[in-house]
Structure 1
């Protein structure tokens, strides 16, 4: 699988060198920036995945930290809540510790229950009631989005599976490659055939043609990869390919709606050609939890 990713990146490099001169200069620079960033992302992701589950969990804890920091830099916060943010950031290593230790019960309730109860209590100790509801809601939603949802990917690494011969690493590769390639496929299909917009007020470039083309591509890709990386039957693989495409699309447009509300094009500038961390993981934020719980309930040991 790592070889396939490497081949795709090399193929993109060759294509850019052969056909890049025919593209407008601005578009060529954007594609070059995107591709260079993909090399870095793929290198870090695959290195952490291959070396050890613990390193991969730590890697995603850092990604969650960057995503939460990016989110909080976009959301206006009250001066009274600055000390509360410390506890939100502290929740990241605690939450990922539950994953690394294999404590499933605490992993699934720590942020949705305990942090949900603790953070507003800590807010009221500051004595500021103006904007309390908005502050509490946006902070908890940010934790759910950037930490809890995203953490379901590394949680696959420690999940016991009923079928022998498969691993959490294979499942992670399967869903990440499926969702990320679906984003690319939707973009290509939409550019080539897109005519009918789905949510023009939120994401004008999203079309039904791109959505359905990406879904068909994801279905075929899931069927091709499932036997190699997962314990899924062909029917399961097909359904997961369709579901991952649809749910990834929802995650994408939800984050787009957030950016529209805040009046920004990208969530950050950390990843040249892509924007910020949230811009790159938006599709995974909704797909990862659903995929994790499906695997756990249907194939968990």
Structure 2
């Protein structure tokens, strides 16, 4: 196993992720992921794909893909550009000269074809022209239909009151959340918030792509299935906080999820993956 493969495998096991989880996040086949961990790049399509797969693997386990490529560049194969052989170059030159002779042969045919197309276009335009002055007595009778708009009837006073009452009954009252979200600090991959105001607090995570999530209470107990990989097909995950206290929401990919507290979106940096959001709920 190479140093690069060992580094990626260590990061994966620290996050309790299997090869199947990495495949679900990156869409890379398992045999290529095993090849990266074992340092066996011969099974991959080419050097370009090796670099792309390594970067995706690193970001899936919370590492910086560009830094990993730069640190272990000596282990990663580099793509090279093939140069044309002298035989290929001479063949290209001969083909170009032959193409010029072929063009001179078909040039008269092109001129004749353009001339025929021009004649056909002029004939079509002449056939489409309508007579400028038509005799008045040849114009047939035509039926003219005028549609009139019926005036809207104005309801009486009683009808207006009934209409206003029915509209008021149909319009639902807007429910506004009273929760207050205050960001206290941000340190590295951790962001801290204070929550207050509402008697009930719900955390909703709206997914825009594949990511793994977890929610813990201040005792470190997992309130969601630990490190489960959620997909955009799950749409959203909602969790009601059972009591006041401090909770940690951990996002595998912070730029693939939007977090809401009682339908109020939480603003947080997406510069690092994974990201921890700590919410302290008090009244």
TM-score normalised over the length of structure 1: 0.24
Query: Which has the larger strand fraction?
Result: 2
* Higher-Rg member (1/2): 2
TM-score normalised over the length of structure 2: 0.25
Query: Which has the larger helix fraction?
Result: 1
Higher RCO (C-alpha under 8 Å, 6+ residues apart): 1
